[in-house]
């Protein structure tokens, strides 16, 4: 990583951590950010499970087992965020049933062109620039792309979750419970980054690993810049990710081991 990328990485992480800390500290914005995390964490489970199966088929039992454990961890992380939302009487909005209730939308916003434009302006669109959706599926993603891109995300997530946990207020039990959960998640993300780093070293030389990691660090810096720019311009008009949880049944307390 060159010095400029490193400086921008620090500035970018600082800026995104600042926004995230603000959002999680404030009880009004906390549900939305928790819902975003729940979707991201739970959403990665099928992908990781499929990757684990693919690794097994390709004869890499070491990687298959690591990916299986990774999927289990992410499932638990999703549950921790779901539980924190439930404690605030919120849940992730059911977009599927809401969109199927609407009549077929043929407006411009549904065209592929607009969608790919939106993707290009998003964090992930910038991060994976040059890769089409098909190339990023578990069945065909290049292992090096998966390992290096996920390594950077996991490494940064471990620090971001720890920082956000510390931003949570101490004065109520729900926030304290969430703080413990997030510190626990941060530790898991460190473990994920470590096995991915090891996985790269099992496949290539230390110099090649460094080059690959540098490439994805630069991509992350660019993606964070896009994210922060959109935040500052107020152009991330994302819909709310939560709705009120009207279920009367209270879930059993989630034990965070
Ligand atoms: Fe996670
Ligand atoms: Fe993770």
Q: Quick check: is 66 in a domain? A: yes
Q: Quick check: is 137 in a domain? A: yes
| Residue 188 CA to ligand 2 centre (angstroms) | 6
Q: Provide the number of structural domains found in the chain.
A: 1
Ligand 1 (single-atom ion) residues, CB below 5 Å: 41, 74, 77
Q: Quick check: is 59 in a domain? A: yes
Q: Quick check: is 108 in a domain? A: no
Token pair 């600082």 in the structure block, residue: 14
Nearest listed ligand to the Cα of residue 182: 1
* pTM for this predicted structure: 0.85
| pLDDT digit string (tens) for the chain, length 257 residues | 667 777 777 777 777 888 888 899 999 999 999 999 999 999 999 999 999 999 999 999 999 999 999 999 999 999 999 999 999 999 998 877 766 554 444 444 444 555 555 566 788 899 999 999 899 999 999 999 999 999 999 999 999 999 999 999 988 899 999 999 999 999 999 999 999 999 999 999 999 999 999 999 999 999 988 888 887 777 666 678 888 887 644 444 443 33
Q: Quick check: is 107 in a domain? A: no
| Residue 153 CA to ligand 1 centre (angstroms) | 10
Domain enclosing residue 26, as ranges: 3-100+133-232
Cα(109)–Cα(94) distance, rounded to whole angstroms?
Answer: 20
Q: Quick check: is 244 in a domain? A: no
Query: What CATH code is carried by the domain that includes residue 79?
Result: 1.20.1260.10
| Residue 51 CA to ligand 2 centre (angstroms) | 14
Q: Quick check: is 246 in a domain? A: no
Burial 199-212 (b: 16+ CB within 10 A, else e): bbeeeeeeeebeeb
Nearest listed ligand to the Cα of residue 151: 2
Q: Quick check: is 257 in a domain? A: no
Q: Which residues pair with 242 in a beta bridge?
A: 92
């Amino acid at each position: 990583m060159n010095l400029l990328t490193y400086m921008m990485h620090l500035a970018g992480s600082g800026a995104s951590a600042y926004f995230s800390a603000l959002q999680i500290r404030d009880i009004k914005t906390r549900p939305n950010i928790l819902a975003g995390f729940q979707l991201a964490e739970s959403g990665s489970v099928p992908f990781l499970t499929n990757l684990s199966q693919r690794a097994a088929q390709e004869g890499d039992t070491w990687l298959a087992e690591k990916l299986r454990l990774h999927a289990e961890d992410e499932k638990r992380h999703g549950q921790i965020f779901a539980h924190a939302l439930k404690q605030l009487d919120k849940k992730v909005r059911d977009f599927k049933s809401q969109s199927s209730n609407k009549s077929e939308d043929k407006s411009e916003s549904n065209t592929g062109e607009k969608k790919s434009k939106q993707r290009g302006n998003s964090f992930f669109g910038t991060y994976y620039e040059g890769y089409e959706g098909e190339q990023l599926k578990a069945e065909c993603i290049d292992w090096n792309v998966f390992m290096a891109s996920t390594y950077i995300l996991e490494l940064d997530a471990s620090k971001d979750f720890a920082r956000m946990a510390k931003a949570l207020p101490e004065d109520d039990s729900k926030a304290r419970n969430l703080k413990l959960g997030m510190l626990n998640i941060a530790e898991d993300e460190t473990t994920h980054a470590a096995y991915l780093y090891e996985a790269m070293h099992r496949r290539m030389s230390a110099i090649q690993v460094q080059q690959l990691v540098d490439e994805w660090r630069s991509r992350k810096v660019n993606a964070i810049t896009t994210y922060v720019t959109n935040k500052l311009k107020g152009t991330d008009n994302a819909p709310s990710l939560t709705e009120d949880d009207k279920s009367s049944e209270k879930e059993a307390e989630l034990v965070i081991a």
